[in-house]
């Protein structure tokens, strides 16, 4: 019996850190011997080899026991887990959009009908697994201190954004000082994270860092092509600069939500650039043209009109949004809230 206990303790000790090995083994030995005494008292006889095997098996496999007694290290701890879960939700939503949008465009153009669902799944599943794996690796690196949180951990209550009135918080009554509500144009930190992720995805695609299945969108098997207006291609750097500026604005909301004036100034610059870009694209209409064998496709004239109208609606919405942003963020810039 003593030989079995020694072998068991040696197997556990081999999996423990040297600094605490001796103390843990001594504690575990006392536990086992107490269990042996209780078992012998219950049976009224000394334990044989089979009884000792059963008792040690009840205590647990050496790997499991070493895990219980050793340092408790989770892949993602309870403090990092909420951030990891938020990042995974955002990234999965972006991956879903990146998989669905090309399929919708293919469906509108009427090509590759039989492979739409398969294309969505084949695009989404690898992207989803990749983003979840990436988020897990980054979270584990923060958990182990390989990546430093820096100033993010030194947040201050005074830097939290002002909460407008109109909605209950923390279960307070409607007349309580804890009542509050988000205004129509207020943005949360979650929205900042989502905005930053979407803009980063666009920048990666726009600069060629992220592959995108454009071939099946612009060149169909029946010889139909989708060509872009050369004016759009000449706007490469302005569009990239606008995307980077929008990413900076989202980053301010995520890292320093109390910097209201800084974000408002950045949003005003983005709105002005967006209005200028909308004006250029309006004069560049049509943005895309359907071509068959080098000539405009007569049988796709209806689709061409629908696409042109869609781009026109998008431009009108963009102008309205940017004008609204000018007024809202101009007010924030003045008031600082």
Helix (H, G, I), strand (E, B) or coil at 79: coil
Q: What is the pLDDT along the chain (337 residues), one digit of tens a residue?
A: 678 888 989 988 888 888 888 888 999 999 999 999 998 899 888 888 888 898 998 888 888 888 777 666 677 877 788 888 888 888 888 777 777 766 665 555 555 544 455 566 677 788 788 888 888 888 888 877 777 766 666 666 665 556 555 544 444 444 444 444 444 455 667 777 778 888 888 888 788 776 554 444 455 555 566 777 888 778 889 999 999 999 898 888 888 877 888 888 999 999 999 999 999 988 888 888 777 665 555 566 777 787 788 888 888 888 888 888 888 888 888 876 5
Q: How far is CA 60 from the centre of its chain?
A: 38
Residue 52 CB-density burial (10 A; 0-12 exposed, 13-18 middle, 19+ buried):
buried
Work out whether the CA dihedral 206, 212, 217, 221 comes out positive or negative. Answer: positive
> Per-domain residue ranges for the chain?
2-69, 78-154, 185-337
> Rounded to the nearest 5 degrees, what angle is found at the Cα of 76, between the Cα atoms of 74 and 78?
90
């Amino acid at each position: 019996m003593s030989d079995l206990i020694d072998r068991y303790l040696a197997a556990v000790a081999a999996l423990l850190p040297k600094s605490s090995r001796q103390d843990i083994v001594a504690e575990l030995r006392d536990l086992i011997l107490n269990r042996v005494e209780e078992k012998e008292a219950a049976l009224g006889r000394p334990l044989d080899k089979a009884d000792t095997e059963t008792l040690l098996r009840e205590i647990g496999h050496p790997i499991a026991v070493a895990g219980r007694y050793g340092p408790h290290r989770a892949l993602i701890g309870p403090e990092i887990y909420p951030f990891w879960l938020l990042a995974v939700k955002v990234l999965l939503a972006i991956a879903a959009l990146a998989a669905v949008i090309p399929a919708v465009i293919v469906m509108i153009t009427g090509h590759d009908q039989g492979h739409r669902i398969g294309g969505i799944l084949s695009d989404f599943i690898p992207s989803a697994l990749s983003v979840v794996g990436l988020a897990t690796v980054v979270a584990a690196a923060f958990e182990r201190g390989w990546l430093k949180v820096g100033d993010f951990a030194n947040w201050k209550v005074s830097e939290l954004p002002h909460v407008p009135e109109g909605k209950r918080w923390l279960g307070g009554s409607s007349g309580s000082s804890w009542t509050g509500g988000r205004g129509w144009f207020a943005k949360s930190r979650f929205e900042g994270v989502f905005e930053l992720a979407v803009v980063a995805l666009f920048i990666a695609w726009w600069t060629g860092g992220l592959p995108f299945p454009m071939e099946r969108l612009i060149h169909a098997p029946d010889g139909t092509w989708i060509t872009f207006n050369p004016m759009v291609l000449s706007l490469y750097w302005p569009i990239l600069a606008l995307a980077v500026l929008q990413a900076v604005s989202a980053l301010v909301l995520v890292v320093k939500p109390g910097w209201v004036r800084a974000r408002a100034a950045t949003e005003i610059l983005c709105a002005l650039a967006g209005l200028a870009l909308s004006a250029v694209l309006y004069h560049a209409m049509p943005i895309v043209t359907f071509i068959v064998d080098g000539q405009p496709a007569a049988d796709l004239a209806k689709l061409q009109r629908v696409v042109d109208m869609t781009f026109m609606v998008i431009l009108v919405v963009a102008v309205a949004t940017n004008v609204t942003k000018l007024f809202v963020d101009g007010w924030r810039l003045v008031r600082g809230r």
